[in-house]
Amino acid sequence: MSAVLKDAPRLLVMSQDDLDEVLEIENALYTHPWTRGNFSDSLRAAYDCRTWRLDGELVGYFILMVAVGEAHLLNLSIAVRHQRGGHGSALLREALELARRRGARRLFLEVRPSNAAAQALYARFGFRRVGVRRGYYPARFGREDALVYTVEL
């Protein structure tokens, strides 16, 4: 008897060709999404931009900037229909490993206080809150603070 195995998720380098799909997810998730320009600028700056694909379908992505021994996770997003399936954890694990390989000793990120699911994910990975950036994010009515988290690599 033989078993047919489905493809495992694959981490791939993001390219300009991915941006239509990336923006579809980004626009579905956020009231103030990143723009095509934000993603294009990240690609042009040679940040570590990665996609997470399952059977060819874009499930999520991240943008990671590494410099002078520190990493900054600028964006990590999972498509709505794939949330709560372990993809966020798997993709965060990949981002942390990439930051380590690039020589970072710690990783920083910002998260909205209203994003409890993301905060819970980061807590499971040992992130700790180290600050607040007042009025950092645009919000439906004004601005929203950013909670700054870090983890030692």
- Which amino acids are annotated catalytic? 110, 122
- Using alpha carbons, select from 13, 151, 143 the residue that is nearest to residue 70: 151
Distance from the Cα of residue 33 to its chain's centroid? 13
Q: Annotate 82-116 with three-state secondary structure.
A: HCCCCHHHHHHHHHHHHHHHCCCCEEEEEECCCCH
Strand partners, 61: 51, 77
| Buried b / exposed e along 64-99 (16+ C-beta atoms within 10 A) | bbbeeebbbbbbbbbbeebeeeebbebbbebbbebb
- List C-alpha distances in Å: 21 to 45, 51, 87: 20, 10, 17
